[in-house]
Amino acid sequence: MNKWVYSFKEGNADMRNLLGGKGANLAEMSNIGLPVPQGFTITTEACTRYYEDGRKINDEIMAQVMEGVANMEEINGKKFGDLKNPLLVSVRSGARASMPGMMDTILNLGLNDEVVAAMIAGNPDPKFERFVYDSYRRFIQMFSDVVMEVGKKYFEELIDKMKAEKGVQYDVDLNAEDLKKLAEQFKAEYKKQLGEDFPSDPVAQLKLAIEAVFKSWDNPRANVYRRDNDIPYSWGTAVNVMPMVFGNLNDQSGTGVAFTRDPATGEKKLMGEFLKNAQGEDVVAGVRTPMPITQMEQEFPEAYEEFIKVCETLENHYHDMQDMEFTVENKKLYMLQCRNGKRTAPAALKIACDLVAEGHKTEEEAVAMIDPRNLDTLLHPQFDAEALKKATPLGKGLGASPGAACGQVVFTAESAVEWAEKGKKVVLVRLETSPEDITGMKAAQGILTVRGGMTSHAAVVARGMGECCVSGCGDIVMDEANKKFTLGGVTFNEGSEISIDGTTGNIYEGIIPTVDATIAGEFGTIMSWADKYRTLKVRTNADTPADAKKARELGAEGIGLCRTEHMFFEEDRIAAFREMICSDTAEEREEALNKILPYQQSDFEQIYEAMEGCPVTIRFLDPPLHEFVPTEEADIKKLADSKNKSVEEIKTMIDSLHEFNPMMGHRGCRLAVTYPEIAVMQTKAVIRAAINVQKAHPDWDVKPEIMIPLVCEPKELANIKKVVVNTAEAEIEAAGVSINYEVGTMIEIPRAALLADEIAKEADFFCFGTNDLTQMTFGFSRDDAGKFLQAYYESKIFENDPFAKLDQNGVGKLMEMSIKLGKPVNPDLHIGICGEHGGDPASIEFCHQIGLDYVSCSPFRVPVARLAAAQAAINNKKKGCDEKVEEFIKGAKEKAKEAAGDAADAAKKAADVAKEAAKGLAKTGEKVAEVAKDMAGVAADVAVAGAKAGVAGAKAFAEEAKKTFNENKK
C-alpha cells in the first residue's frame, strides 16, 4: 500500500517534493517545537494519482485521509462533525515551489446548521454567537467559490447590501443576527446558482474541498504562473488539512502576515500587518485596513513577544528571510505557514550579501539563492508600484523585452523618429516589425506588435537595445491604413496615450508613471562572486558599438554574434546595397559593395574598440535579399534612376526576389555561394578593421571570428571558407602584418548537427543558432507559432514556448550530438550558443552540462547569464558531491553490515564450541561440569565482545561517512 498521507510529525523540510513547500515547512516547524496546529498533508503523488484516475480521489487515499482526521481528533480532543465538541478544519494547497495566490484555500470546514446550533447552545455569550455565524457565512462563501465555482460577486453583493441596510462600513460591524441572515441568504444563493442544497455532511465537504485543491493545480492562473516560472505540471500540489484556529473568535484574537526582513528593500527589520478579530483572508484581500505588525505588541504583548522569538528561530533555522502567516486565538499564538519570502531584485541582492556577512550563507549559497530572471528589473525602468496597483490591463501579449514604457501611439518608424525629434515620447505599434523599422524602434520608448513571438524580429532587436517590447498581442484589431487599433473595447488612434509592460506583457490605456532602474551596491558584489564560481564564458549579441560598449559594462567577455545585416539599413548605405541587389553583373555588384566597404570597416573598428581585445564573432549576411529592397514608390524611383533602369524593370526584379518560404530560402551561406563578392567585401572589412585596431593597441589580441550562417553541407562551408581565407590572406600580406582570425559556422539546421564531424574538419568553431535550429527542428515558424501554442499549453502538449526555453529533449539532443561528433575530429573546436536561449537560465544550465565554452545573449541579459552560469557550476558541483557522498554511505553501510555479520558468525561459533565442550565434559562429573560452565561463560563473553566489535565497526564507518559528507558539503 502506498503512503498518501503524512502527519506533521512524520515529515520534515527535506520532504518538499512529496509534501509540498507548505507541508514540509509545517512539519519542520512542528519538529523544532513551534506552536503549529497538528494536522496532516496529502502528498503531491496523491495529486498525480488523482489526475491519472480521471480526476477522482480513490478509496485508498480517502481511507488514509480519514485516518489522518482520526489522529487529529485524538490530538485535539474534538470530533469531526460532532455536535458537542466539533473539530473544524482548513484545507490549503501547497506545491513544492511557492505559488502565492495561484491555488485555493477553504477555511472553517465542518460547519453545518446542526453544528452551528450546537456550538451556540454550548456557549450563550452573544459575542461567541456572532463568531460562529461569522465563521459559517465565511465557509459557505469560500466553499461555494473555491469548490463549487459559484462566483464571489454574488456573495459580496449580499454583504454590501446588508452593510448598506445596517448603515455600517465594515463586516466586523455586523452583529450575530445580521450574520445569521447572511448565512441563510448565502445558502439560498448557492441553491439558486446550482439547483441543490449546500452540502451538510462534513466528510463530503472535506472530500470535495480536497478535490478542489487538486483541481486548482490545473486552473488557468496556476498554469500561466507555472509557465512563467518554469514549474513543471508533473509536480502536482499537496493538500494540507489542519485544525482551525480562530483569529475571528473575539477581540483577544487576530491574524497576520509578516516578513523577517523588508521584502522591498532587504532591510533587516520585521515587516508585516495584523488584524484583530479577523481571518487570514481579510489581511490578504484588503477587506479592512490592517495595522502594522509592531502595533500587535500593544494589543497582545505575550503573543507578540513569542512571535519575535519564532521569527528569530525560523531565520536562524532556514538561514533566509521568512514569510510567515499566523493567528492569535485568545491571546495564544499559532503558526500556520512559513516559507522563504518573495522579494524584489534589490532586496534579493541585499539579503544575500547580508546573510553572508552574518554567517548564515557561504558566497556560493548566496549566489545560488538569487533568481537570475529578477536581475532584469534592475536594468530597466519599471512602473511605479502604487500607480500600477490602480491600473487594469486592457490586454496581454508576450513580455518579450523587460521594462516599462509609456507614450503616444505611432504606427510607422518614420513617425516615431519625427515625433521623438520634437521631444515627444512614443510607443511604436506595428502588426510586426522588419529590419527597416530599426530607426523607429530606437526612437520609441517601447514597441508593441500584434504578431510574432519571443524570437520575432521585434523581440530580438528590442532585447539587444534594452528597450521595452510586448509582442504577439493577437487580441489587437489593427487598422494600419487609418492609423488606429482596438483592444479591450478601447480604440487607440495616432497620438493616443498607452503604457506597456515588457516584463508581464500587460497593456494599459493612458500613462502610468515609471521609475528609473537603479543598480544597488550589492549588484557588483554578487556579480564578482558569480564570476568566481562560473566556468562558462558569457558573450553578447551586439550589432552596434553602443550595444557592445553597454554589454562590456555589464560584464560581457566578447561578442558571440554580430549581425552585419543591421548595419546595411543605415540611411547612408542602404542605397548602395540596393544597387548591389539590382546589378546585372559581378562587376556591378562589386562596384556597389565597394561603396559599403568603408562603412562596414568603420563599424567593425568601433566594435573591436568597444570590446578591448575580447573575441568578436561576426556573422556574414544572413537575411534573404527581399528584406532590403524598397517598398515605397519614391525609393523605387530613386533606385531605378541610380541603375539607369525603368521603374517597371526594378519592380520586376523586386518581384523575382519574392519567396514562398523565405526563412528556408535564398539566405545565409547560400547568398555567399551565389554572390561570393558579398563574402569578399565583408572579409576585407573584417580583416582591415582588425589590422587597424591591432596596430592602435599592440597589447590587445584582436582575433576576429568569421561565422558563416545556415550551413547544411561540409562542401558548402569549404567553398565559402576558401573565398574568405584567400581574401583575408591577401589583405594580411598587403598590410605586411601578422594577425590571427578564425572561420567557423552556425549549427542551425538539423542536417548540420548530423554531419558535425564532417563540418568540424573545416570549422574552427561551432555556434548554435538555436532560434533557427528550434524553428527547423519543430517545423514551426517562430513568427507564427504564437497563434497556436496557447492550445498546446491548454492540451498539456507543451509546458513552455520552445523559442523562449530550450527544448532539451529534441534541439538539445542535436546540440549534444554536434559536440560529441565534432570535438574528436577537431579537439581545438570551441563551441557556444548565440540564439535567444543564451540568456535563459534553465537553458544556460543545460549548456553548462553538455560542455559549451560560452553562451551569448543580448547586452542587458549578460548579468542574468553570468549569474545563471555560476548557479549551473555550483549545482553541478553539488550534484557531484551528493553522488560521491551517496556512494560512500552505500559502501560504508555494506562494510558495517559485513563487519556485524562477521562478529555474529564468530559469536555463534564460539557458543557452539562451548556448548559441545560443556556436553562432553558434563559426563565426567560435577566438578568438571563447573569448569565447563566457566568455559561457556567465556564463550558467551567472546560472543558479546564480537557483537560489540561489530557495533564499534559500524559506528566507525558511520563517523567516517559523516566526516566525508561534511567535507563534501563544504
Tell me the catalytic residues: 457, 834
CA 688 from chain centre, in angstroms, equals 44
Contact between residue 589 and residue 625 where contact means Cβ atoms under 8 Å apart: no
Contact between residue 361 and residue 319 where contact means Cβ atoms under 8 Å apart: yes
| End-to-end Cα distance, the chain | 39
Residues 6+ apart with CB under 8 A from 942: 906, 907, 910
By C-alpha distance, which of 386, 72, 380 is closest to 242?
Answer: 72
129: its cell numbers: 454567537
Separation of alpha carbons 246 and 110, rounded Å: 14
What type of residue sits at position 415?
A: S
Separation of alpha carbons 901 and 642, rounded Å: 96
C-beta atoms surrounding 91 within 10 Å? 26
By C-alpha distance, which of 509, 530, 511, 527 is closest to 519?
Answer: 527
Separation of alpha carbons 421 and 440, rounded Å: 11
Contact between residue 97 and residue 21 where contact means Cβ atoms under 8 Å apart: yes
Separation of alpha carbons 479 and 562, rounded Å: 35
Q: Which strand (E) or helix (H) includes residue 252?
A: none
User: Which class for 9: exposed (0-12), middle (13-18), buried (19 or more C-beta within 10 A)?
Assistant: middle
What type of residue sits at position 699?
A: D
Separation of alpha carbons 586 and 584, rounded Å: 7
CA 47 from chain centre, in angstroms, equals 23
Q: Which strand (E) or helix (H) includes residue 857?
A: strand 854-857
Separation of alpha carbons 306 and 299, rounded Å: 13
Residues 6+ apart with CB under 8 A from 144: 150, 155, 186, 189, 190, 193, 198
Separation of alpha carbons 453 and 501, rounded Å: 16
Rg of the chain's alpha carbons, rounded to an integer?
Answer: 35
DSSP-derived letter for residue 198 is P
Cell 507578540 maps to which residue?
304
Is 31 strand, coil or helix?
helix
Contact between residue 404 and residue 502 where contact means Cβ atoms under 8 Å apart: yes
C-beta atoms surrounding 77 within 10 Å? 8
